[in-house]
A and B are shown apart, each in its own frame.
Chain A
């Protein structure tokens, strides 16, 4: 999604507030990357819903370097540096060759106001009159991309609130240039620790956006379908009326009956038909409306049944089919005369019996383990070293 929007960015054309829309075509089309690139740290400009960037524009604009202003150069275009110093955030178009182009022809240079190294690519169009707002918006956009945890990712409201507080802290620091290296470190640490969750949430957001879009599409289609149906109905009605009129005229022409009677008869028939049509159309439209409402109702219902309306089912002793199979053996009722269990069988004092020890369980286990593997196919692939059972590897290390 991020790449997509960046791509849209490159495509999006710049609209200037305050007129001169035509000047667009005069901006140097050979340097579109100046407006925004995916490598721009703070992105640039704020897009309106149509995907375009509206640039801030005023008659008092003046390039702080070459002092050219809008009066002399109506196509003047100011850009903002990544350190948000307006002083030198300028970029003017011809005739006075772009100052930015000029200043940065030899690569990155430092800002005269602060010591920050600036690059040509990091300049971006200005959306807001107040550069503080411009910066805050850019910072928040960047932060939101990384810190996208949701309430359901936390175990309780408190830890979620703590998280929000931390995010706000970071944003505040970045906006007000407090402790930037430490803050960046914090962000990096968070990024490393939560990479998986961040991408997961990103995917979730995408999925939600997609679902929303689908929903909107569905609604739109429904509206269209309804409109089409109405139009069709109207058309039908019109045709019918015309046909009736024709019929009536034909009858009047050919029939020998009283003209008044024929007219009255046809009127009654027409009234009947129209009332029938009204009934059917109302039924139809209610059906349409219902289909939409029904989706909702169904959705709600499935959601509530999940919580409440699962019927209690009769008891089933075992949920697996373990006892559906016949054993390959039967334990002898009279027991076995084996050496191992001799002590138990003798049990002169009866303490094993009193303690509840069941030698039958031991016999059963011995027989089961003896025959359990009889049907199993021989293991294969044991020669390859990496087909080792993972259990064994771990157990070895333990």
Chain B
């Protein structure tokens, strides 16, 4: 037995696998414990061998970036070990995610609660950006909530570091509803501003309690965005017509955000509008956002321990979502299109998405109405 194997085994012995929580295309997630402390962890076993390149890309990304990032608002990767041909990631155990909280209609959000969540998200994101890492899949589903109320950014399966000048990146990232227009127009050169757009969408979703820009297809997504925020002009967003996949989607007038977010304060709308600016270079950076007057205004952000919490147990999630970005459920837009295995679709039944109670509420926003209203 060589040193590596031995080290590997020593590592494995520190963690106890307990119960399977879910399975997806790329990984099986177990609930576990650290032997020495009894601390609860999640062990993500990545299946190896079924991909022609060996390891799944998202697993490599996840290890690569989470190994480097340690922050209160970023999920902690505690350990990595391999077992036979499998790769195991030991992650911090977190009970719920923001999506469940948004959907739980028994919870009432105060403006201070939203402020607290946004501050924690921006802090986590600022830390990623500070370390030159783009998350590229921010959505409520990937913002996990610890038992003490702390919000943690998870799922770095699509993350990458900032590209060197002139290097292309893929535009097939970020779940559709949270994808910024430059990616929808196929831009291969983009920046941290893509994550800020996602946060803008999440911010709006927290206030509306329903996805803000829910398009049914990539094309429809653009239309939805323009309906909500008006079609961008060349002045607002110079050069966007030259982007590779640019298509004119029609002219929509601008509607003031105030019409939809009737209860929001001026600061709130100011921050939201700056996160949802068309011109990516003008969008706020995470650190600028954290210094926005919105956060300093009264009410103070709620202390994390007092934030609304899900009362229901976390249902086993379809792991496509946990893992990478495959959305097999179909109730949200995915990045990788097809479900790899029909059998896995069964898991859908337990997905919180399909709870009929919440389903009826999580409706789509219709911006056409708002356009017509004065």
Tell me whether A51 is interfacial, beta carbon within 8 Å. Answer: no
Q: CA of A307 to CA of B242 in the docked complex: distance in angstroms? A: 54
Say how far A95's CB is from chain B's closest CB, in angstroms: 57
Q: CA of A283 to CA of B265 in the docked complex: distance in angstroms? A: 55
Tell me whether B29 is interfacial, beta carbon within 8 Å. Answer: no
B243 touches A398 (CB 8 A): no
Choose one: A193, A312, A323, A342; the contact of B301 (CB below 8 Å): A312
Tell me whether A1 is interfacial, beta carbon within 8 Å. Answer: no
Binds B, one of A16-24, A210-218, A313-321: A313-321
Say how far A130's CB is from chain B's closest CB, in angstroms: 40
Binds A, one of B187-195, B198-206, B220-228: B187-195
Knowing A319-B72, A365-B132, A398-B82 touch, does A354 contact B239 (C-beta < 8 A)?
A: yes
Binds A, one of B5-13, B152-160, B320-328, B356-364: B5-13
Tell me whether A351 is interfacial, beta carbon within 8 Å. Answer: yes
Interface residues of A in 375-398 (CB under 8 A from B): 385, 390-391, 393-398
Choose one: B166, B192, B239; the contact of A350 (CB below 8 Å): B239
B126 touches A312 (CB 8 A): no
Tell me whether B33 is interfacial, beta carbon within 8 Å. Answer: yes
Q: CA of A349 to CA of B189 in the docked complex: distance in angstroms? A: 13
Interface 1/0 per residue, A308-345 and B, CB below 8 Å: 10111111011100110000000000000000111110
Complex contacts, B283 vs chain A, CB 8 Å: 356
Knowing A196-B36, A315-B119 touch, does A355 contact B7 (C-beta < 8 A)?
A: no
A356 touches B182 (CB 8 A): yes
Complex contacts, A354 vs chain B, CB 8 Å: 182, 187, 237-240, 242-243, 280
Complex contacts, A196 vs chain B, CB 8 Å: 16, 33, 35-36, 38
Knowing A355-B243, A397-B8, A398-B82 touch, does A365 contact B295 (C-beta < 8 A)?
A: no
Tell me whether B207 is interfacial, beta carbon within 8 Å. Answer: no
Knowing A310-B305, A312-B302 touch, does A358 contact B242 (C-beta < 8 A)?
A: no
Complex contacts, A394 vs chain B, CB 8 Å: 7-8, 11, 80-82
Q: CA of A163 to CA of B299 in the docked complex: distance in angstroms? A: 46
Knowing A306-B305, A310-B303, A351-B242 touch, does A398 contact B80 (C-beta < 8 A)?
A: yes
A357 touches B191 (CB 8 A): yes
Knowing A155-B31, A362-B165 touch, does A315 contact B295 (C-beta < 8 A)?
A: yes
Tell me whether B44 is interfacial, beta carbon within 8 Å. Answer: no
Tell me whether A156 is interfacial, beta carbon within 8 Å. Answer: yes
Choose one: B82, B243, B279, B296; the contact of A314 (CB below 8 Å): B296
Complex contacts, B296 vs chain A, CB 8 Å: 314-315
Q: CA of A349 to CA of B3 in the docked complex: distance in angstroms? A: 54
Tell me whether B290 is interfacial, beta carbon within 8 Å. Answer: yes
Complex contacts, A307 vs chain B, CB 8 Å: 305
Knowing A310-B305, A356-B187, A394-B7 touch, does A318 contact B290 (C-beta < 8 A)?
A: yes
Complex contacts, A362 vs chain B, CB 8 Å: 162-165
Residue in A156, A354, A362, A385 whose Cβ sees the most chain B Cβ within 10 Å: A354
Tell me whether B209 is interfacial, beta carbon within 8 Å. Answer: no
B191 touches A361 (CB 8 A): yes
Complex contacts, A358 vs chain B, CB 8 Å: 191-193, 281
Say how far A372's CB is from chain B's closest CB, in angstroms: 11
Residue in B187, B237, B279 whose Cβ sees the most chain A Cβ within 10 Å: B187
Residue in A350, A357, A393, A397 whose Cβ sees the most chain B Cβ within 10 Å: A357
Complex contacts, B287 vs chain A, CB 8 Å: 317-318, 323
Tell me whether B170 is interfacial, beta carbon within 8 Å. Answer: no
A319 touches B36 (CB 8 A): no
Interface residues of B in 258-298 (CB under 8 A from A): 279-281, 283, 287, 290-291, 295-296
Complex contacts, A353 vs chain B, CB 8 Å: 238-239, 281
Residue in A312, A313, A344 whose Cβ sees the most chain B Cβ within 10 Å: A312
Tell me whether A252 is interfacial, beta carbon within 8 Å. Answer: no
Instruction: Name A's B-contacting residues (CB within 8 A).
Output: 155-156, 193, 196-197, 200, 306-308, 310-315, 317-319, 322-323, 340-344, 349-359, 361-362, 365, 385, 390-391, 393-398
**Minimum-distance CB pairs A-B, first 3:** A356-B280, A355-B187, A354-B239
Further contacts, 14 of them, CB under 8 A, given A315-B115, A318-B287, A354-B243: A156-B313, A196-B16, A310-B305, A312-B302, A315-B300, A319-B72, A349-B242, A351-B244, A354-B187, A356-B281, A357-B190, A357-B191, A359-B165, A394-B82
